[in-house]
Structure 1
Amino acid sequence: MPDDLDDIRAELDAAEHVAAAEALPHLRAAAERLSGLIDESMAQAVLSEGASIRSAGASAGLSENAVGPRLARTRSLGAYANADGRVTATGVQRAQYDHENGEARVADDRKPLRFKPRRNT
């Protein structure tokens, strides 16, 4: 986590004294890293600290419905996502059980889908 925060700070520093157009890629990179850090922190709160999906989402300023898909993108809970791409209370219970027994599954690194324009115009 400290490395993530350092990377975010570096992107924000790079965006600080440049023109708006030049700052946008740095701000986007910082936003993506911060979003990933929020997701991983919610996953750890749910997995290791006993927080509910609802309370973790509320602490992050998200609705309960927004948390499941975000948890599914995390390394620690992604392997417990259902077919709809969401981590539910059942998946969290299984992850906690596996974690306690030292058999936790680890999700592969997947990048979130991003919009790609068809053409440059």
Structure 2
Amino acid sequence: MTQDQPVVAHRERLDAVRRALDAAQQLMTESQDSVGALPYLREAADRLTELIDESMAAAVLNGQASLRSAGAQAGLTENAVGPRLARTLTLGAYADDRGRVTAAGVERARYDLESGVSKQPAAAPAPMRFKPRRPT
């Protein structure tokens, strides 16, 4: 992976967020269709979450931030960072059996990056969704 690839990927994700927001804005202003705008707003939110997560992963991997400080900068609790990093393409392969990226996983990823051999995640995970505790 070249140095420019993460920047290009971030740019593409940000452009996708903008397109989804533009589509939602168009529906809401032209036809007052708030319901029709909801799928576009959801898409923008999902893509923005992916961008935040990948940006945190890049910052942690490059040593620009610790797990805790990256989460704090993104407005997340420390406990929320590990599972979100486990869903990224950058660090997903370094998640533990609980589905979390820990400091040990980050260290391994850094070592692999320096040696030029990095793991690739098996598959891109589905976006995180709210799951009610009770069926009612």
TM-score, with structure 2 as normaliser: 0.81
In structure 2, give the amino acid aligned to 1:93: E
**Counterpart of 2:104?**
90
* 2:126 corresponding residue in structure 1: 111
Deviations 1:10-30 (A, max 9, x none): 100100132110000000000
Q: How many residues align?
A: 116
Post-superposition shift, 1:4? 1.0
Whole-Å separation in 2 of the counterparts to 1:115 and 1:57 = 20
Q: Secondary structure at the match of 1:74?
A: coil
The one-letter code of the counterpart of 1:111 is A
| Partner Cα separation in structure 1 for residue 118 and residue 62 of structure 2 | 12
Partners of 1:113 and 1:16 in 2: CA distance: 25
Q: In structure 1, what is the Cα distance between the partners aligned to 2:65 and 2:93?
A: 19
| Cα shift at 1:111 | 1.6
1:9 has 2:18 as partner? yes
Deviating 4+ runs (over 2 angstroms) = 112-116
Instruction: Report % sequence identity.
Output: 59
Aligned to 1:63: 77
- Structure 1's unaligned 5+ residue stretches are 117-121
Q: Which amino acid aligns with 1:12?
A: L
Structure 2 gap segments, 5+ residues each: 1-9, 28-32, 132-136
